[in-house]
Chain A
Amino acid sequence: MGSSSSPNGEMKMADHSRWSELPNHINEMIVNRLGFPDIIRFRAVCRSWRSVYTEARRPRYHPMVLYEYNLQKGTFGFYSFEDKKVYWINVRDNYQGKHCVGSCESWLVLSSPYLRNYFLLNPFTGARVDCPYVNRPDVDVFTKVILLHSPIDPTTKQTNYYCTVVALNSFSTELNICRLGDLRWNVLKLDHEHFLGCLVCFKDKIYSLSTNGELWIISLSGPMLRATVQKVLVQINLTVGLDFQKECYLVESEENFRFVIYKLVQNLGEYKWIREYNLPDDRALFLGRLCSRIVSTTEYGGLQGNSIYFTDDKLIHKARVSEYPETGIYNIRSGSIAPCLPFNLYPFDLPHIWITPSVRNRDAIDLAEFWTHWSGTMMVEQISIN
C-alpha cells in the first residue's frame, strides 16, 4: 500500500475501499468522536464499518423519547429534543420483543414474544444480551426491570457478567435478581403485599417504597448476590397519603395537576423526605415508569431547566380511555405545562419511553457520579389539585 508515487487522483479506483480496511483501533477512535445519529449513519456505510465496535465508549445520545415502536418488527421511532427531529431505526428482525419492561441509558429490557424470557437490546447498535431463562411455572411476568451496570464491558467488549439485573414481578411479591451469564434468577420474596412498582438503584443499593410509607433498601453482596432487605420507616409529611398506585409519583392524572418533589436525606442512619421546591436551573427530570433520571441541560441542548418531563403511564390508564395522553413538560417554577412532542407525534397506544443519554467515558470511576444523577434519592408525587 502506498508504494506508488503517483499524484492524488490517479489511484482513485485502486484505492476505492481502503477506508473500509482501517485498523480496528482507528475505526474505534473515529466512532468515539461521533454522536447520535452520526453513529448510525457510520454503521450504514459498509460491512466493515458496521462491525466496528460501537459500545466501547458509549456514544453520546442526547435525551430522546421513544414515542413509537413495533417490537415485533424491530422498528423504533425516536424524537430528539436536541434537534427536534424524528429518527426511525430498524433493528434486525430476529430481535423480536413483546413488551418493554425497562429502560436504562440506551438499553431497553424486552420480553420475548413466545418464551418467558427477557433480553436487553440497544436499538442504536443492535447489540443484544440475554437474561437467564425464567423456568419457574409459578412466576408471573416482570413489570419493571432495572440494570445496575452497563450490559457490555467497555474493555473486553463482551457481555459484562458483573451487570446485575433486578426485576420486580407484577404482583410486587418478589424481586428476581441475576447477573448476566447466570443460569438462573435468584428470588427474593417480599413479605409485603403492597410494594410499589418504583424501583431505583442508587450507589449500588436498590430503593423501593411500600404503600404505607416504608422505604425498602435492598443491598446485594457476594458472588451469589445475597440480598439483605432493610425496612426503614421514614418520617413522612407528604401532601397526600401514600395510597397511590403502582408508581409512587403517580396519583391521579387529571387536567390540572402538579408535581411535588421529595428528596431523600440520610442523617445518622435516619431517613427523611425533604420537600424540594425547585430543581436546579440546569437540571431536567425525566419521569417515567420504566426510567426516571435527572439530566444536565447544559450538557444537552434543547431541554428546559427546572422542569419535569413526564409521560403517560399506559399500564395504569389501560382501563380508561383518555383523549390525550398525559405527557408534557412541567415547569416547576411557573407550574405551567407545555407539550413535549409535536402534536402529530402523540402516541395513542404505547407508553413513551425515555432514552436518556449515556455518560461520556463512563467507567468504574464515573459510575458513582452517574448513579447520583439517577433520581434514586428523589421521589416525585403527582397530585391532583382539583
Chain B
Amino acid sequence: MSSTKIFLKSSDDKTFEIDETAARASETLKNIIDGGCLDGVIPLPNVSSNILPKVIEYCKKHGGDNGSSKKIANGGVDKDKEILPDYDEEEDKREKVRVDELKKWEEEYMDFDQQVLYDLMLAANYLHIKGLLDLTVEKAASMIRGRTPDQIRENFNINSDFTPEEEEEMILIEDEWDDEWAFD
C-alpha cells in the first residue's frame, strides 16, 4: 500500500516525516488525519525533538498493525494458536519468527534511561499509542519490582518528601526465613 507522507513538528520547531500508515498507530494522529483537517504539518507542542524520532521509530514498526498483521498487536504466540486452531504450520513458524524478532526489537528499542522513559511515556500518552504506553509502563514497573523505596527513588531520581515520622510509619520490614523447620 503506497502511503502519503505526513509531517510532524516537535515542540522545539523541528519537522519530522512519517508515513501515514505508520502515523495511524497513534490514535491522536489517526483522528487528525481522518478528521481531514490535515494542513501540511501537524504541530506536537508536547513532544520534543529528542523524543519524537523515538516515537516515529515505534510507529514505523507498528504502523500497519490495525490492518493486516493484527496478530503482532495482540502479542502472544500462544494466543494466536488458541484463536486459530487450524493454523497453517508454515505460517505458524513464520509468525513465531516475527514475534521473536519483534521482541528482540523491543528489547533494543527500550534500552534507555529513566529520563527518556518519562518523556516517551508522556508522548505515548499524549499521542494515544497504546502499545508504546504499555511498553513504557511495564518498564517503569520493572524498575520498581524487587527494590526498596530508597533504590526506587534512586532509579527515578525522586526525593522523599515524607517527614521522618511518616517514614518510620511506612517501614516495611522484611525478614528472610530459611526453610529450616524446627520439628518435623
- Within 8 Å of chain B (Cβ to Cβ): is A127? no
Q: How far is the CA of A15 from the CA of B153 in the complex (A)?
A: 13
Chain B residue numbers with a CB within 8 Å of A88 are 171-174
CB distance from A308 to the nearest CB of B (A): 18
Across the interface, name the chain B residue whose C-beta is closest to A74. B169
The answer on a CB contact under 8 Å between B176 and A41 is no
Whether, in the assembled complex, A301 has its beta carbon less than 8 Å from a beta carbon of chain B, the answer is no
Q: Does A33 contact B (CB under 8 A)?
A: yes
Known pairs A46-B161, A86-B174; A41 contacts B144 (CB<8 A): yes
Any chain B CB within 8 A of the CB of A322?
no
Q: Give A47 to B146 CA distance when docked, in angstroms.
A: 20
Segment among B1-9, B22-30, B62-70, B117-125 that sits at the interface with chain A: B117-125
Complex CA gap A3/B47 in Å reads 8
Asked if B93 is at the interface (CB within 8 A of a chain A CB), the reply is no
A87–B177 CA distance with the chains assembled, in angstroms: 11
> With A15-B157, A20-B158, A45-B158 in contact, is A86–B177 under 8 Å at CB?
yes
Q: Which residue of A lies closest to B160 (CB)?
A: A46
Known: A41-B147, A41-B149, A44-B149. A19 touches B12 (CB 8 A): no
Q: Determine whether A229 belongs to the interface, using a CB cutoff of 8 Å to chain B.
A: no
Flag whether B84 is at the interface (Cβ < 8 A).
Answer: no
Assess whether B175 is interfacial by the CB under 8 Å rule. yes
Do residues B177 and A45 form an inter-chain contact, with CB atoms below 8 A?
no
Chain A residue with minimal CB distance to B14? A5
Cα A152 to Cα B113 with chains together (Å): 36
- B172:A5 contact, CB within 8 angstroms: no
Cα–Cα, bound, A33→B113 (Å): 20
B-side contacts of A1, CB under 8 Å:
122
CB atoms of B174 and A85 under 8 A apart: yes
Task: Give every chain B residue within 8 A of A269 (Cβ-Cβ).
Answer: none
Cα A176 to Cα B137 with chains together (Å) = 45
A87–B122 Cα gap in the complex (Å)? Answer: 34
**1/0 contact trace for B134-175 toward A, CB 8 Å?**
100110110011111100110011111110000111111111
**A8-B169 contact, Cβ under 8 Å, with A30-B141, A30-B144, A45-B152:** no
Residues from chain B with a CB closer than 8 A to the CB of A45 are 149, 152-153, 156, 158, 160
* B177 engages A345 (CB within 8 Å): yes
In the assembled complex, how far is the CB of residue A346 from the closest CB belonging to chain B, in whole angstroms?
A: 9
Number of chain A interface residues as a range: 35 or more
User: Nearest chain B CB to A78's CB is how many angstroms away?
Assistant: 10
Let me know if B31 is at the binding interface, CB within 8 A.
no
Interface centre among B47, B138, B140, B177, by most chain A C-beta atoms within 10 angstroms, is: B177
Q: With a CB–CB cut-off of 8 A, which chain B residues contact A339?
A: 181-183
Choose among B11, B119, B158, B184 the residue with the greatest number of A CB atoms under 10 Å from its CB: B158
Q: Do the beta carbons of B121 and A41 come within 8 Å of each other?
A: no
List residues 64-113 of chain A with CB under 8 A from any CB of chain B. 79, 84-90, 92
Q: Please, which residues of chain B bring their CB within 8 A of the CB of A12?
A: 115, 157
Complex formed: what's the CA distance from A148 to B111 in Å? Answer: 46
Contact A34 B141 (CB under 8 A): yes
Interface check A38, CB cutoff 8 A: yes
Complex alpha-carbon distance, A79 and B174, angstroms: 10
From residue 94 to 115 of chain B, which have CB atoms closer than 8 A to chain A? 113-115
Chain B residues with Cβ below 8 Å from A87 are: 172-174
Point out the residues of chain B lying under 8 angstroms from A84, CB to CB: 176-179
| Cα-based distance from A85 to B162 in the complex (angstroms) | 27
- Which residues of A1-44 have CB atoms within 8 Å of chain B's CB atoms? 1-5, 7-8, 11-12, 15-20, 22-23, 26, 29-30, 33-34, 37-38, 40-44
Contact A16 B176, beta carbon cutoff 8 Å: no
Question: Could you list which residues of chain B lie within 8 angstroms of chain A, going by C-beta atoms?
Answer: 11-12, 46-51, 113-116, 118-119, 121-122, 125, 133-134, 137-138, 140-141, 144-149, 152-153, 156-162, 167-184
The 6 nearest A-B residue pairs measured at CB: A343-B182, A33-B141, A88-B173, A44-B149, A19-B156, A86-B175
Q: Could you list some 24 contacts between A and B, CB below 8 A?
A: A1-B122, A3-B11, A5-B49, A11-B115, A19-B157, A22-B118, A22-B121, A26-B125, A30-B140, A37-B174, A41-B149, A42-B152, A44-B171, A45-B153, A46-B158, A79-B177, A85-B175, A86-B173, A86-B175, A87-B172, A88-B172, A342-B177, A342-B178, A344-B182
